[in-house]
Structure 1
Amino acid sequence: MNLLLFLASAIIIFLVAALYSLKRQIKYILLQIKEMNEGESNKYLSISLINNDIIELAAEFNRKIESEEELRRNVIDHETRLKESIANISHDFRTPLTSIIGYIQLLEKSEIDEFQRRNLNIISKKSYELKNLVDVFFELAVLESNETDLSFNRINIGNLISDIILENIQMLEKANLNLEFNIPDNSCFICADEKMFRRIMQNLISNAVKYSTKDVKISLVKKDSIQIKIKNSIGLTEDINTERIFERFYMEDKSRSKKGTGLGLAIVKLLTEKMDGTIMAESENGYLEIVIEFKAIS
């Protein structure tokens, strides 16, 4: 009897130990899966328990992980090749376009009748529109290729924005827009690439001029961070889709009557994030406000 009791106790202890070990292993596998889902790990599942069912379960997971990893690599490779192709095609387009525009300029200087000049003006306008589109495609492809070198410097953001506005004042006046510009009395500094920041502001001002119906407000707000706000009237009774406004090729004006490319704000978002900034948009009561935020430095 004592022997049977001892054997039963030993079996119970063994089963409890095996169950405890199995539970620990399951928790360990679950922890690894959670880390994968949260992007904290891309390793295969590892196990230490000698159990055929658990081993087979982990093996199936690992096969799935390997399959998804291969798919991810293929997608990245495809996107890389696509971006390179767009950059190459855009570059190849630029050379003949430059020649075409050059010949158009020569024809404009020649003696032609009014009918020919009117047609030539149309050709010239469409050629420049195509050139602008090709240039934007090329710029976006280069920026997304991560081949752009950044040169970060301490920048007085208030002074820089003032200069950029002065450079664009004629464009704003030509569009008959009311400009309101507000900056703090104290100097505000950020660490950024000046060339890229100029491109951001140029795109935002051009976008405001292109789509604004009456007024544009540019303001600089200094809190824990530096916020640059560009607000303009858009002449729409309904709010625009701000969740998609920074997508490539997205245009709220489906008729494309404004002759935009749908890439200007996508470039703004890309440049902002490359300089560790954030960007958001709000639409309310016929106004669109875009807010860019950078870390303030002393």
Structure 2
Amino acid sequence: MDIRSRKYSHSLTVKIIVFTLVVLFFSGILKSIANVSTLTDDDFGIVFEDNYFLSKSYMLEVEPILSSLNQLVSEYKSEENISKGGTISTEDMRSIEESLYPDFTERSKIYNPSLSEEENFKNFKEAYAKKIDQAKNQMITDELKRYQGLMQTLAEKKDLLYYANDGVNEFTNNTLKGQFKENPSYIIYKNYKKEIYPSTIEKNKRFNWITEDLDQLNAKNMEISIAFTQDALDQKIKEWKENKSIATNAFILFIGSSIGFLLSFAYLALIIGRKSFNDRELHLNVIDKLFNDLNVLLLMALIASWVALVDTLTIDVLSMLVFFLSIPFFIVALTLVLSIIKHIKKRTLLKHTLIYLLLSNFFTFIKNVYNSGSNGVKTVLLVVGYPIAIAITFFIFPITIGFAAWFAYKQVKKFNAIKEGVEQIKAGDFHHRIEVDGKGEIASLASNINTITDGLKTAVNRELKSERMKTELITNVSHDIRTPLTSIITYVDLLKKEEDPLKIQEYVEVLDRKSQRLKLLTDDLFEAAKASSGTIPVHLERIDILSLLTQGLGEVNAKVEALDLTFKINHPKDKLYVAADGKLLWRSVENLLSNIFKYALRGSRVYIDIDDMGNDILLTFKNISAYELNISADELMERFKRGEESRTSQGSGLGLSIAKSLIEIQKGQFSIQVDGDLFKAMIKIPKHNSLIS
């Protein structure tokens, strides 16, 4: 054996050893994961838990019981209470009605667009009374099922003592009831306070997550208590320690195997295909002749088969068969991956694919025929192909004629389908679709007609929505203006008859308030009309956005303190300048702040974020609403629409609409988002292009 043979043999041995190490380290990773998977409700996180009371296992023991008891005493009370509908709130009934109302407007003959929304809703409640009751009864049935489920959860808990009482109903598995403090661990919520032993429990990060609702438990007669007996607690701690020991060993194995796998795989990928480090030539073997696209498909099929097979096994079986099942799959997959790595290093990843080969041969053939100037090839194709075509046509002449007739019939049928479809659409049926199979000019024409129909349908729907919004606008304007106007008329009549100076003074003050309210409404309506028409003059200038905000917030500081709001402004270190009209921009921001002052939850935080978007500056206002936001963002942007539907606040409902119009005439964008009770308003203004001094 010469020196080259010895070098090659040595290199092959190294590759086999490293390949084996990769497989062994991978098996170690699988083994560690399988070992942890056998632990009930635990993972590698248990390794970092200091004691049982700070563990995930403890929380999983107490959380279902605390949650079930809290729901029983604060919501369900008893099975009789649920059956009588005691758990169904006004909001639930409103949700039922809102889910059925669209069906009434679309299908019911009773619905009359000319009537007001209130009159239509009244007719809806009368016509759909039976369906509303059915939905309510179904909700009661669902609540009863959940109630029974909670009772079943409590019944299955034998190693934990519990007691709950709302003053009338009682839930317990402890005949001694209140004697919980004699146990080694307990949690008691009673008389507006909580008692927890040992206190270490409160340091558990998950504890606050599961007891947020219990912290609101402040009814005088309500009590929720749980406790571990000494035997039960000792057993739980013993199981936790055993699980932690298993998880710790598995974690060490996982870390060591992962590091070893990464290092050995990286080294194997580095040396694969080369006989030595100095060898620049890449050597391929039989497996590398497999096309790369087929290689990838085979690799994906192999992984899918492994996942499907492992998914059918239990945890215990998976732990035992990890070497006998996963390792052969991994060896084959690793071999395929190494083959792909070789082609990547050789820069033949795409060229060595079946698709590339077929396309390359096809385009080469086309190129040789039409671009290479090879008259010989063209002559052969003409001499050989034309007689063959004639011969085929001669022997299958009836079939050729039949095919031509069938093809012509299909084209005429497609044309007639388009003709009939156009007639239906012309008659006003915008929902009609012209169905034409296949491809080509006729199918393309049918598709274009369908697209035009969709556009017409969208335009009609937009016009209907516009008419509805106009009707709602007139209704809301009439309602909001009529209220103070009626009060003014009433108090003027009283003023004419009153002789008591004190009463007269009181009536004058009321008249002053109502007239100011009427003036505010008319001013806002006038400003909204001017803003939407775009007739307001705009003078764009260079404005420091942060200075504008801080100065403006200083002016409204009294309102901020009165509502106990905390404003947080997040902004980049560098100054940001926008191209905007200072007065109009501040008017838009002022409208948003006014909206926040009216509807934000007292004592909450308001976040204002300033972000540099490149060519634009994004200004985001976020606050928590004091009212339930049960309408969409699009509805909030409509004029005279308010977040609280009772319309008892002093706002006109025009603030957001005015702000949007003012921002748009400054070449900006205005949008809002609603996520639960979180209200978010976003203003995007172009950045000033001049140099910052």
What's the TM-score once normalised by structure 1's chain length?
Answer: 0.63
Task: Report deviation, 1:281.
Answer: 2.3
The counterpart of 1:28, out of the listed 444, 465, 474, is 444
Question: What are the Cα deviations for residues 63-87 of structure 1, in whole angstroms up to 9, with x where unaligned?
Answer: xx6x998x799889989xx79xx8x
1:236-251 to 2 correspondence within 5 Å? 236=627, 238-243=628-633, 244-251=635-642
The counterpart of 1:254, out of the listed 634, 645, 655, is 645
Which residue number in structure 2 is paired with residue 292 of structure 1?
683
1:140 and 1:281 mapped to 2: Cα distance? 21
Q: CA contact under 8 A between 1:208 and 1:216: conserved in structure 2?
A: no
3-state DSSP class of the match of 2:636? coil
Which residue number in structure 1 is paired with residue 593 of structure 2?
205
Q: CA contact under 8 A between 2:629 and 2:643: conserved in structure 1?
A: no
3-state DSSP class of the match of 2:609? strand
The counterpart of 1:279, out of the listed 668, 671, 678, is 671
3-state DSSP class of the match of 1:253? coil
1:68 and 1:281 mapped to 2: Cα distance? 24
Question: Residues 27 and 280 from structure 1, CA distance in 2 versus in 1: closer, same or farther, beyond 3 angstroms?
Answer: same
Which residue number in structure 2 is paired with residue 219 of structure 1?
608
1:68 and 1:269 mapped to 2: Cα distance? 24
Q: CA contact under 8 A between 2:668 and 2:683: conserved in structure 1?
A: no
- Where relative contact order (Cα < 8 A, 6+ residues apart) is larger, the structure is 1
1:136 and 2:524 aligned: yes
Task: Report deviation, 1:126.
Answer: 0.4
2:629 and 2:464 mapped to 1: Cα distance? 35
1:68-87 to 2 correspondence within 5 Å? none
Question: Residues 254 and 114 from structure 1, CA distance in 2 versus in 1: closer, same or farther, beyond 3 angstroms?
Answer: same
Q: CA contact under 8 A between 1:216 and 1:232: conserved in structure 2?
A: yes
Which residue number in structure 1 is paired with residue 511 of structure 2?
123
Counterpart residue type for residue 126 of structure 1: K
1:150-189 to 2 correspondence within 5 Å? 150-189=538-577
Counterpart residue type for residue 260 of structure 1: G
Task: Report deviation, 1:135.
Answer: 1.0
More strand by percentage: 1
Question: Residues 24 and 153 from structure 1, CA distance in 2 versus in 1: closer, same or farther, beyond 3 angstroms?
Answer: farther
Matched residues, number: 247
1:270 and 1:141 mapped to 2: Cα distance? 9
Question: Residues 159 and 30 from structure 1, CA distance in 2 versus in 1: closer, same or farther, beyond 3 angstroms?
Answer: farther
Q: CA contact under 8 A between 1:158 and 1:220: conserved in structure 2?
A: no
Query: Any unmatched runs of 5+ in structure 2?
Result: 1-392, 415-438, 489-499
Greater Rg over alpha carbons, structure: 2
Question: Residues 28 and 151 from structure 1, CA distance in 2 versus in 1: closer, same or farther, beyond 3 angstroms?
Answer: farther
The counterpart of 2:660, out of the listed 269, 284, 289, is 269
Task: Report deviation, 1:120.
Answer: 0.8
Task: Report deviation, 1:10.
Answer: 6.7
Task: Report deviation, 1:200.
Answer: 1.1
Task: Report deviation, 1:13.
Answer: 4.4
Task: Report deviation, 1:166.
Answer: 2.6
Task: Report deviation, 1:179.
Answer: 3.3
Question: What are the Cα deviations for residues 13-42 of structure 1, in whole angstroms up to 9, with x where unaligned?
Answer: 476468559674432323423543675xxx
Which residue number in structure 1 is paired with residue 42 of structure 2?
none
* Between 9-18 and 209-218, the greater mean CA deviation after superposition: 9-18
3-state DSSP class of the match of 2:529? helix
3-state DSSP class of the match of 1:251? coil
Question: What are the Cα deviations for residues 176-233 of structure 1, in whole angstroms up to 9, with x where unaligned?
Answer: 4333334332112333333332121010111111223224524233143533222334
